[in-house]
C-alpha cells in the first residue's frame, strides 16, 4: 500500500490546510478537536503509514517513533521550538526536520510585554477584584504595582534578557519606549548582542540576574538550558524583581520558583509555559504575585495562520524531496542515510 502523503497530527489553522489542498496532495488531519491530542499509538500508526509528518509541539517525536517509520521523508513542526523532536535521531536516520521561525517573533515579543506589564501592575488580580464585585471605593493604596520607567531617583529600570535570538531582540527593542536599560546574556549570540547599540552584553547569567528589575527568558530548550533558572539563580535576583518566561517551561525549575514566590525572594513571575505542560505545579495558582497563561505567546490570528502556512510549505518540500527552507538539521541532506531513505521511497 502506498504511504499516506502527509499526516497532520491535529487541526492546524486554515491557511495551512488551504496550501495542502491547493497542492492536491493527499493528507489527513488526525485530530479535529481543539482540546484533544493523539495518544502515542495513534501517532505511531499515522507516522508509520505516512511520507511526511506535520506535527505540533504537543507531539513527542522520539527515536523510537522515528525508527518505526522507515518511509518517513520529513517532519514539519508547526512551531519555532523543536525540543519535542529528537533531532539527533532524525539526522542519523536521514529525516529532515523543519520549524517555523521568524513569523512569530513580534507576537511573542508583544505577549512577553503584556506579561511583564500584567505582573508588574497586578492586572489579573485587579481584574478578578472587579469581577468578584469587590470594588466599593477608590483608594490610594489599591493595587499598587511596580513602575517600568525611571524612579524618583532617575534610575532607569533594568530589563535583563536571557537568550538573545530573534525574540529576545524583539523584546529588547520594545524596552526603548519605556526608557529602560537593557542588558542581555546569550553565550551563543554574544556577537548579536555586541552589534546592538541599545543593549549591554553581560559576561554571565548571574550578572543579569543580580542587576535586572525584570528578567525575561528566551533561550531554546536544550540540556544546557534545562533548569537554567533554579534556586541559586532565583536567590541571585533582587527581591523587587520579576521573572517572565515565554520560552519553554523546563528552563525554569518550577518547584524552586514556587518557593521563591512564596518566600518573597523575588516580587513576582509571569509564565506562559510550564515544566510539565499542560500541568502546572500545584500552589502556583493560589499565589498573589503570578500571572499564568496557557502557552499563548504566538496566539494571534495572523501569526498562527503564517505558522500553519510555513509548516505546510515545509511539509510539501519534504514530500517532494526538496530542501526545506526551514530545516533545522540541514546537514542531513548531504548524508547517506538521507539518500537511502529517498531511494527507498521511490523504489
Out of 166, 200, 277, 320, pick the active-site residue: 277
Other C-beta atoms lying within 10 Å of the C-beta of residue 67: 12
Does position 81 interact with ligand DGY (CB under 6 A)? The reply is: yes
Q: How far is CA 214 from the centre of its chain?
A: 19
Q: Segment 306-335, which members bind ligand DGY (CB under 6 A)?
A: none
Other C-beta atoms lying within 10 Å of the C-beta of residue 307: 27
Shortest spacing between CB 321 and ligand DGY, in angstroms: 26
Shortest spacing between CB 130 and ligand DGY, in angstroms: 30
Q: Concatenated DSSP letters for 228-286?
A: SBSHHHHHHS-TT-EEEE-S-GGGB-HHHHHHHHHHTSSSEEEES--TBTTB--TTGGG
Q: Is 295 noted as a catalytic residue in this protein?
A: yes
Instruction: Answer for the pair 296, 60: CB distance below 8 angstroms, yes or no.
Output: no
Identify the CA nearest to 272 among candidates 97, 133, 109.
109
* Among the residue ranges 73-81, 124-132, 170-178, 326-334, the one whose residues contact ligand DGY (CB under 6 A): 73-81
Does position 221 interact with ligand DGY (CB under 6 A)? The reply is: no
State how far the Cα of 39 lies from the Cα of 53, in Å rounded to an integer: 15
Q: Concatenated DSSP letters for 114-133?
A: HHHHHHHTTHHHHHHHHHTT
Does position 90 interact with ligand DGY (CB under 6 A)? The reply is: no
Grid cell in block for residue 37: 491530542
Out of 156, 166, 227, 295, pick the active-site residue: 295
Q: Is 188 noted as a catalytic residue in this protein?
A: no
Shortest spacing between CB 263 and ligand DGY, in angstroms: 30
Other C-beta atoms lying within 10 Å of the C-beta of residue 258: 18
Out of 10, 248, 304, 306, pick the active-site residue: 248
Contact letters (x/-) for ligand DGY, 7-46, by CB under 6 A? ----------------------------------------
Q: Is 248 noted as a catalytic residue in this protein?
A: yes
Shortest spacing between CB 160 and ligand DGY, in angstroms: 21
Active centre residues (catalytic): 248, 277, 295
What does the binding site for ligand DGY look like in residue numbers (CB under 6 A)?
Answer: 57, 79-81, 104, 298
Amino acid at each position: 500500500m502506498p504511504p499516506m502523503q502527509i499526516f497532520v497530527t491535529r487541526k492546524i489553522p486554515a491557511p495551512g490546510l488551504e496550501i495542502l489542498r491547493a497542492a492536491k496532495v493527499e493528507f489527513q488531519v488526525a485530530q479535529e478537536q481543539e482540546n484533544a491530542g493523539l495518544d502515542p499509538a495513534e501517532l505511531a500508526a499515522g507516522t508509520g503509514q505516512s511520507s511526511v509528518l506535520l506535527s505540533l509541539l504537543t507531539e513527542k517525536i522520539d527515536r523510537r517513533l522515528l525508527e518505526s517509520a522507515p518511509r518517513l521523508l520529513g517532519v514539519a513542526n508547526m512551531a519555532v521550538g523543536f525540543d519535542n523532536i529528537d533531532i539527533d535521531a532524525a539526522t542519523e536516520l536521514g529525516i529532515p526536520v523543519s520549524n517555523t521561525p521568524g513569523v512569530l517573533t513580534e507576537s511573542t515579543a508583544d505577549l512577553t510585554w503584556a506579561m511583564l506589564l500584567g505582573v508588574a501592575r497586578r492586572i489579573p488580580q485587579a481584574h478578578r477584584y472587579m469581577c468578584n464585585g469587590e470594588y466599593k471605593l477608590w483608594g490610594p493604596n489599591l493595587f499598587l504595582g511596580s513602575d517600568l520607567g525611571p524612579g524618583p531617583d532617575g534610575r532607569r529600570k533594568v530589563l535583563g534578557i536571557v537568550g538573545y535570538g530573534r525574540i529576545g531582540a524583539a523584546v529588547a527593542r520594545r524596552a526603548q519606549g519605556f526608557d529602560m536599560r537593557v542588558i542581555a546574556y546569550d553565550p551563543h549570540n554574544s556577537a548579536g548582542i555586541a552589534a546592538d547599540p541599545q543593549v549591554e552584553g553581560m559576561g554571565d547569567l548571574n550578572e543579569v540576574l543580580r542587576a535586572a528589575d525584570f528578567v525575561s527568558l528566551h533561550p531554546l530548550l536544550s540540556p544546557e538550558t534545562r533548569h537554567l533558572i533554579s534556586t541559586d539563580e532565583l536567590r541571585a535576583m533582587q527581591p523587587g524583581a520579576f521573572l517572565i518566561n515565554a520560552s519553554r517551561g523546563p528552563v525554569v525549575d518550577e518547584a524552586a520558583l514556587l518557593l521563591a514566590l512564596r518566600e518573597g525572594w523575588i516580587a513576582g513571575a509571569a509564565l506562559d509555559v510550564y515544566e510539565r505542560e499542560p500541568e502546572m505545579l500545584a500552589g502556583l495558582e493560589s499565589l498573589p504575585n503570578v500571572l499564568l497563561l496557557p502557552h499563548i505567546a504566538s496566539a494571534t490570528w495572523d501569526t498562527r495562520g503564517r505558522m500553519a502556512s510555513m509548516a505546510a510549505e515545509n511539509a510539501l518540500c519534504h514530500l517532494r524531496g526538496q530542501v526545506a527552507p526551514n530545516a533545522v538539521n540541514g546537514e542531513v541532506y548531504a548524508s547517506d542515510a538521507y539518500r537511502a531513505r529517498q531511494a527507498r521511497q521511490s523504489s
